[in-house]
Amino acid sequence: MQRKDCFVLKGNIIYAREDRTLAEQSEGYVVCEDGICAGVFDGIPEQYKNFPVTDYGDALIVPGMTDLHVHAPQYTFRGLGMDLELLDWLAAHTFPEEARYGELSYAKQAYPYFVEELRTSCTTRACVFATLHGEATVELMDELEASGLVSYVGKVNMDRNGGVNLCEESAEASAAATRDWLSAVKGRYAHTTPILTPRFTPCCSDELMRLLAGVQRETGLRVQSHLSENPSEIAWVKELVPEASCYGDAYALFDMLGSPDTPAVMAHCVYSDDAELALLKAHGTYIAHCPESNLNVSSGIAPVGKFLAKGLHVGLGSDVAGGSTLSMLRAMTLAVQVSKMYWRLVDNTVRPLTFADAFYLATLGGGRYFGKVGSFLPGYEFDALAVDDSSVKSMRRLSVTERAERMAYQECACRLVGKYVRGRKLV
């Protein structure tokens, strides 16, 4: 009997291995068996001969990409206010826009734009911030579930330093709203998982952090937040939580930094020093490196080469709307570019990223947060993209790896012609 998610894709295949090297197979076959990758082959092995084959011709076939950090409600104003610094940008653009999601009708109007672009992008998995509004967050989760993408989604918590109409009344009210949201989504989805989302320390009182840690212990849910993004933010956290040894410790003190079994995602870590990085490593934290956002809101350059050298978990984030685009290809190229500037301008002992590193970060590095995801090694969940790069003219014949690099830098000339998540076809 033919199983539902069994098939073969044919094309020019490239993927990252766990040691961050790339493997390529021109005119190869990648096999999906019940949603799981059975491997990459130069011909179809006997046992898969009856599986249907989709021939993508000369297209590239790459693993799906993971956006480890994105704000769905901010999609509406992406590319605006990009001449401001973080805290001014939050006050001028982010908070007023997020306040609008208090009206469910606004969320129903706005979220489909975000979800549809994400569905037709290179992203197959994402860690998503919603707003502090429970109903609107359920709406976003319903739409993400219907899209076929796999995601973690968080109702944001904030009980201090919010904007007009964008602050919960008290720590108790914020925690109660989180419990209401969690009971509304309990058992509702196959591909969408709630994640606790204290916005960042400046917006969450000690009491709120304590209450959320209680929710975490009861539910076993993961946590996502922001960490050491910007010097003025870090100075503020020092005043707000003076007993913390570093910003990361301001989460750890309240049991909100996760553990290797229940890892947290922390976005940015631009200014994390060795002590903070050691703390993240001990907790098994995933760092979402968001190079475009770090440039746009004048945060700085995260030492991503150092994260990798220390063996930390790292993936890439678009951080829309600190980032202007959901494109993970753009995140890849910018990750290489900013790492070169870090090496040139900040510390020439930290080696810049190679293209292979950046490809790894966008696929397997972030994919790991979701389990065995982000590669075509046997046993990985089958997330795949077929990309037609035939409009990118070339005088000489390029290797598959060279074509993948050019695809990232010339993404506007490339077209997504196929997309699979857990073996299900989305595009």
DSSP 381: B
Name 289's bridge partners: 316
Query: In whole angstroms, how close is the CB of 151 to Zn ion at the nearest point?
Result: 15
The residue (of 56 and 200) whose beta carbon lies closer to Zn ion is 200
Instruction: Count interface residues toward Zn ion (CB under 5 A).
Output: 2
Name 53's bridge partners: 8
The residue (of 319 and 411) whose beta carbon lies closer to Zn ion is 319
Interface with Zn ion, residue 233, by CB under 5 A: no
Q: Which of 268, 266, 265, 327 is nearest to 301 (CA)?
A: 268
Q: Which stretch in 22-30, 76-84, 145-153, 319-327 sits in contact with Zn ion by CB under 5 A?
A: 319-327
Q: Which residues contact 280 (CB under 8 A, 6 or more apart)?
A: 248, 257, 266, 269, 272, 287, 312
Q: Which stretch in 56-64, 93-101, 311-319, 399-407 sits in contact with Zn ion by CB under 5 A?
A: 311-319
Query: In whole angstroms, how close is the CB of 321 to Zn ion at the nearest point?
Result: 9
Region for residue 393 given its phi and psi (left: phi exceeds 0; alpha: psi -120 to 50; beta: otherwise): beta
Query: In whole angstroms, how close is the CB of 58 to Zn ion at the nearest point?
Result: 38
The residue (of 127 and 149) whose beta carbon lies closer to Zn ion is 127
Query: In whole angstroms, how close is the CB of 147 to Zn ion at the nearest point?
Result: 21
The residue (of 267 and 287) whose beta carbon lies closer to Zn ion is 267
Query: In whole angstroms, how close is the CB of 78 to Zn ion at the nearest point?
Result: 13
Q: What would the DSSP string read from start to end of 309-370? A: HTT-EEEE---BTTBS---HHHHHHHHHHHHHHIIIII-TTSPPPPHHHHHHIIIIIHHGGG
Q: Which of 64, 140, 34, 51 is nearest to 362 (CA)?
A: 64
Interface with Zn ion, residue 319, by CB under 5 A: yes
Provide the b/e sequence for 179-210 (b: ≥16 CB within 10 Å): eebbeebeeebebbbbbbbbbbbbbbbebbbe
Interface of this chain with Zn ion, residues 68 to 107, rule: CB under 5 A: none
Query: In whole angstroms, how close is the CB of 80 to Zn ion at the nearest point?
Result: 16
User: In this structure, what token pair is assigned to residue 335?
Assistant: 């990750």
The residue (of 192 and 230) whose beta carbon lies closer to Zn ion is 230
Query: In whole angstroms, how close is the CB of 47 to Zn ion at the nearest point?
Result: 45
The residue (of 12 and 293) whose beta carbon lies closer to Zn ion is 293
Tell me the residue number closest to Zn ion, measured at CB. Answer: 319
Chain mean position to CA 343: 25
Interface of this chain with Zn ion, residues 241 to 280, rule: CB under 5 A: 267
Binding site for Zn ion (CB under 5 A): 267, 319
